[in-house]
Structure 1
Amino acid sequence: MSMRQTELVVRTIAETAIENEKYFGDLDAVVGDGDFGYSLARGFEKLLEGWDALDRTDPGTFLKKSGLVITSRIGGTSGPIWGTAFLRAGATAGDAAELDGEQVVAMLRAAIEGIKARGQSDVGDKTLLDALVPFTDALASGAGLAAAATAAREAADATVTMVAKRGRAAYTGERSRGSVDAGAMAVAVIAERISETWQKQGAAS
């Protein structure tokens, strides 16, 4: 993955979060406080506002600088969680100018560990990890991006049967069963958009 491809992925994440503000907020409102979509959109808008000024020395630096903006600009608990993911991924990328598939998986694994530590959560707690981990596992197994996005979508859909154990939704207990997790669905929707954009832009070439 080159610098250009890294920019493409981050920009796609930002644009998808902004476009799905209402959808992600509506999902969160079922058992949360409904501000997830709003918080994510406002934070990624700030990232795009300062887009041209972000340090592009290498992909890792770009991700770390993006993570700092996200941490400071996304409200609620989402800022530290999403910001940590970008910061950990960037730190794992180091100063490499090009990133291969194994490095990208290692970056995602580092992001996952950062989210687990920051959110005191794990797979099965009905959080974004329930889609991000299956997505990463699929990539690690050699599946393509499209197949990994499908795995994320299936896993996000499956959170409907779970009881939330972290975040505001956890206060609702059993009532959280019967609705999908907004964070997990956000990961799935973003993964699908990245896959589509990657194919359209010929980013793999």
Structure 2
Amino acid sequence: MGDGLDLDALLVPSPQTSADKGNRGRRVSTGNAAVNGPDSYLSHQWKPAIIKACKAVITAEPTITHYDTVWGDADCGLTLKSGANAVLSGFDNQSNNLIPLDPQQPDLTMAAISELVEDSMGGTSGGIYCIMLDALAAQLQSIREEIPNDQGPTLKQWATSLEAALETLEQYTTARVGHRTLMDALTPFIQSLLAAASDDQASPRASLVKAVDAAYQGMEGTKKMVPRRGRATYIGGQDESDTDKYEMPDPGAYGLYTLLKGLLDASKA
């Protein structure tokens, strides 16, 4: 397997019942988290995927910054890079339990990442990522008892938890698909996973491939969109005759797609 992520092991395809959504958005404490050793399941599965995704964002920073120089205030790339570096530093400090890796408590992993992001990312992007991660952590916490032993959440559990987190995020932002924001990549990604999870026999990796492609198509679609939300509405302008500008995707959507593609690229071919 090397550094690859075995998605067919990580996302167990057997269906599970979705849990109560009353805990959405509540910060999950990581104070008593147990961190598995270097040979643990998640050390071989989640850790390399998260690291690769963060490195992909760092590599893409100049491109994201270029897009945001035209469409925003030129800080999106550096903001995402700062968050990615913070998460990587969390894995460099395992002795301090910064990012716990317990397959039956994935909420602690998400909550720890959210705390690192909150401390390192500013602006709208930082807020959106923190709300989404906190809500995802809370939903995963609510289904701990349903998560298969030592295997982590199933594909359906991931999909429904992401759906719940998106619903929470939508309570804090009016941005939706078609507004030229990262929601144009995030929402199709989650919708695609949900559609795949409805099939009990769906391949986890094939499902992720389709979901990342949906995020890509959503990101590409922003190239022709007039911005309806965010700083681009008054910095990027709404001159649709500027054809060069409308060959660039929304920087936030591009950054999120890069992150998701990094997760996919960590999986086995």
Q: Which has the higher contact order (CA 8 A, sep 6+)?
A: 2
Aligned pair count?
200
SS of equivalent to 1:77? helix
Find 1:190's aligned residue among 255, 259, 262: 259
2:42 corresponds in structure 1 to: 3
Contact conserved, 1:26 with 1:34, CA < 8 A, in 2?
yes
Aligned to 2:132: 85
Deviations along 1:95-129, whole A, 9 cap, x unmatched? 34520011111222133223323333222211111
**What is the aligned partner in structure 2 of residue 174 from structure 1?**
238
Distance 2:260 2:126 in 1: 19
User: Of 174, 187, 190, which residue of structure 2 is paired with 1:133?
Assistant: 187
Q: Is the 8 A contact 1:64 1:87 kept in 2?
A: yes
Aligned to 2:88: 48
Q: Does residue 24 in structure 1 map to residue 64 in structure 2?
A: yes
SS in 2 for 1:180: coil
Q: Using the alignment, how far apart are the partners of 1:114 and 1:26 within structure 2?
A: 31
Q: How does 1:65-84 map to 2 (within 5 A)?
A: 65-84=112-131
TM-align CA RMSD: 2.1
Q: What is the rounded CA distance, in whole Å, between the counterparts of 2:120 and 2:70 in structure 1?
A: 24
Where does the alignment leave 5 or more consecutive residues of structure 2 unmatched? 1-9, 11-40, 197-205
Q: CA deviation at 1:173?
A: 4.2
Deviation at 1:9, TM superposition (A): 3.6
SS in 2 for 1:12: helix
C-alpha distance in structure 2 between counterparts of 1:119 and 1:194, whole Å = 25
Q: Any conservation in 1 of the 2:54–2:262 contact (CA below 8 Å)?
A: no
Q: Is the 8 A contact 2:71 2:250 kept in 1?
A: no
TM-score w.r.t. length of structure 2:
0.68
Q: Does 1:14 align with 2:59?
A: no
Letter in 2 for 1:34: A
CA distance in 2, matches of 1:28, 1:175: 16
Higher share of residues assigned helix: 1
Partner-residue secondary structure (3-state), 2:178? coil
How is 1:133-172 mapped onto 2 (pairs within 5 angstroms)? 133-142=187-196, 144-171=207-234, 172=236
Alpha carbons of structure 1 residues 29 and 114: separation in structure 2 relative to 1, 3 Å: farther
Q: How does 1:103-118 map to 2 (within 5 A)?
A: 103-118=157-172
Which stretch has the larger CA shift, 3-12 or 156-165?
A: 3-12
**Alignment deviations for residues 152-197 of structure 1 (CA, whole Å, 9 cap, x no partner):** 1111111112121222112144137713111111222222222221
In structure 2, how many angstroms separate the alpha carbons of the residues matched to 1:16 and 1:99?
A: 24
Shift of 1:93: 1.2
Find the aligned partners of 1:164 and 1:23 in 2 and give their Cα distance.
Answer: 19
The TM-score with structure 1 as length reference comes to 0.87
> Quick one: which amino acid aligns to residue 61 of structure 2?
E
Residue 77 (structure 2) pairs with residue 37 (structure 1) = yes
CA distance in 2, matches of 1:47, 1:8: 12
Q: Which runs of 5+ in 1 are unaligned?
A: 201-205
